[in-house]
Structure 1
Amino acid sequence: MSQISIISGKTSEDLAKKIAKKIKANLVKSEIRIFPDGESKITLIGTISKKRSIVIQSIFPPVDTNLVHILSLITKAKENSAQVDVVIPYMGYARQDREFLPGEIVTMKVLAKLFKGAGASKIIAIDIHSLIGLKYFSIKTENVTAIPDLVKYFKKLSLKNPLIVSPDQGGKKRAKEFAKELDSDYIALEKIRDRKTGKVKIKTKNLSEVENRDLILVDDMISTGGSIIKATQFLKKQKSKRIYVACTHALLMNNAEKKIRKAGVTSIISTNTIPGKTSKVDISNTIAKAIM
């Protein structure tokens, strides 16, 4: 029997299967029964290694349900394994990493305690929204990037003098890294977000460098697509050519994909941290390397 067990949560079944195959690990699946009151009953199918288990589960909507599921999987794994590593392809609550307005709870602090309490030895996240959130953990943490995998996809496309664009200053480092991998240049727009309403405004004025070029809007995650839509509308006015969107996590809530396409985006390309129509980039190899 393999010395490593991959315990697959329902949100990351396909990813877990690919990773287990790559590292020759024993795959343990989870079956879930939902009771009429909304409670979940999880049953694991397979044998858990006594040496090391790796729990893989994304925490996307329904976020609270999937959070309880992953904590339950870790607890069960810890009953059997000496070491329990946890891969969270998409980390829900990562935006709640500090107190923006008085009285707000920093939920990432709560998560740090929950994961340790459940028995996790290490947390591996993929392009977490904010690295600040990982500082609250007293166990080992690692953030792995999907940028090289996304760039590989875009290298296959016939792009005209591509320019990498970050929709805000916060993503400047990500855009720079993406541009370096693709061997192109980058810019970062300036935006303002109202902390109470969530509305976004682009502060940047005219941009001559986007004219007649294919653009790749790069972000770590897209939830409702508000920032991407505003950026696309602005860039279209600057006479850009095609606009692509590259992101690690495509949540695409409230019909976001349709709205983004309507704004003028040619294609949305995301990874399989969140399975869906746009998840055309497989990151199982990158996660497998991080595990080993």
Structure 2
Amino acid sequence: MKPLLVTLPGSEPLSAAIAEAIGAEQALMELRHFPDGETYLRYDSPVVGRPVVLLCTLDRPDGKLAPLLFAAAAARDLGASSVGLAAPYLAYLRQDRRFRPGEAVTSRAFARVLDGALDWLVTVDPHLHRLGALSEVYGIPAVALHAAPLLARWIAAEVERPLLVGPDAESEQWVAAVAAEAGAPHVVLQKVRHGDRAVEVSLPEVGRWHDHTPVLVDDIVSTGRTMIETIGHLRDAGLAAPVCLAVHGVFAEGAYDALRQAGAARIATSNSIAHASNAIDLTALLAEAVRHRVAQAARA
């Protein structure tokens, strides 16, 4: 049967393109809040026997989690053949271990919640830190897609003589792959994080790249502190104003404006999270993986 695409709040800009690409019907659904803040959800599209795909990007996740879980539970109750999640951005991967006594290991707790609600999960460039794969925390089939080729194509088309700058040693392999596909050189920062908003970076020798345009590349830009400090170092080194490029533009309060004021020549992100900086379309990447997961679930 034709898949049913359920679009949760925040993911509307991707909905029509994803539905067309996977051959799905867009669900009609009433989603609102009672006066006390509790969620009301009702499907107005037939669900029984159909694969249901929930489209929900999980930036600012706490307010999105309840509607997502209710949509998944209702789809199961109404007879969906499978229920999967396409989450262009997946939250709660930073706290993957207990750094101080008494802390919640939120990455594992969040994964257990989603494991209980879904049959599968597809996301793009999750921020895994010390984890090698999503399977280390998720029990359901969880696919991590990679936007590096899309970033490389954008750089090659949009930036003249780019020099890619990676945020830290952990990113070197990823940044090197993007640089190789874009046909560009790369360097990597040394970074020490002193807190959620305090970052100290040092720039390697870049004197021989004065005729290049720096492109600061990261998987996520949240506070923007690493990029802001790097812009200052690049300016001191006499390089051109940089392009700031990220897969996921989370942009904590004021971060986007702070990046612009710091001297970024351009800020570009994918459309995993709707924002004015969106320049790289993930539709085809997501759609191919979702089609594959829906087909696999049907054969199971």
Question: Quick check: TM above 0.5?
Answer: yes
Secondary structure, in 3 states, of the residue corresponding to 1:137? Answer: coil
User: What letter matches 1:67 in structure 2?
Assistant: L
Partner AA of 1:237 in structure 2: D
State the Cα distance separating 1:158 from its structure 2 match: 4.6
Equivalent residue letter for 2:125: D
C-alpha distance in 1 between matches for 2:159 and 2:186: 18
Q: CA deviation at 1:125?
A: 1.2
Relative to 1, partners in 2 of residues 1:157 and 1:288: Cα closer, same or farther, differing over 3 Å?
A: same
Alpha-carbon distance in 1 for matches of 2:102, 2:208:
43
Partner of residue 67, structure 2: 69
Q: Which amino acid aligns with 1:171?
A: S
Tell me: CA distance 1:44–1:149, structure 2 relative to 1, closer, same or farther (3 Å): farther
Alpha-carbon separation, structure 2, partners of 1:235 and 1:19 = 39
Contact 1:248 1:270 in 2 (8 A): yes
Instruction: Give, in whole Å, the separation in 1 of the partners of 2:123 and 2:103.
Output: 24
Identity %: 25
1:179 aligns with 2:179: yes
- Partners of 2:12 and 2:179 in 1: how far apart? 32
8 Å Cα contact 2:268/2:279 also seen in 1: yes
CA distance in 2: counterparts of 1:4 and 1:272, whole angstroms? 23
Deviation at 1:37, TM superposition (A): 3.0
SS at match of 2:234: helix
RMSD: 1.9
TM-score with structure 1 setting the length: 0.91
Aligned to 1:19: 18
- Hey, what does 1:5 align to over in structure 2? 4
Q: Amino acid of the residue matched to residue 179 of structure 1?
A: A
Instruction: Give, in whole Å, the separation in 2 of the partners of 1:149 and 1:49.
Output: 37
Cα distance change, pair 270–31 in 1 and its aligned pair in 2 (3 A): farther
Equivalent pairs, count: 287
Compared CA separation, residues 181 and 206, structure 1 to 2 (3 A): closer
User: What is the aligned partner in structure 2 of residue 111 from structure 1?
Assistant: 110
Unaligned runs of 5+ residues in structure 2 are: 292-300
- Quick one: structure 1 residues 221 and 49, their matched pair in 2 at CA, closer, same or farther if it must change by over 3 Å? farther
Distance 1:11 1:49, change over 3 A: farther
Question: 2:295 matched to which residue of 1?
Answer: none
Q: Could you tell me which residue of structure 2 aligns to residue 255 of structure 1?
A: 254
SS for the counterpart of 1:201 is strand
- Give the Å deviation of 1:66: 0.6
CA change 1:219–1:248 in 2 (3 A) is same
Work out whether residues 247 and 270 of structure 1, in 8 Å CA contact, stay in contact via their aligned partners in 2.
yes
- Secondary structure of 1:41's counterpart equals strand
Cα distance between partner residues in 1 of 2:125 and 2:142: 12
TM-fit CA distance, 1:173: 2.1
Match of 2:152 in 1: 151
CA distance, structure 2, for counterparts of residue 31 and residue 214 of structure 1: 48
- Whichever residue aligns with residue 67 of structure 2, its letter is H
Task: For residue 208 of structure 1, report the CA deviation from its aligned partner.
Answer: 2.1
User: SS of the counterpart of 1:254?
Assistant: coil
Segment of structure 1 superposing worse, 48-57 or 197-206: 197-206
After TM superposition, the structure 1 = structure 2 runs for residues 87-236 of structure 1, keeping only pairs within 5 Å, are: 87-118=86-117, 120-130=118-128, 132=131, 134=134, 135-159=136-160, 161-195=161-195, 198-204=197-203, 206-236=205-235
Given that 2:216 and 2:244 are in contact with CA atoms closer than 8 Å, whether structure 1 keeps it comes out as yes
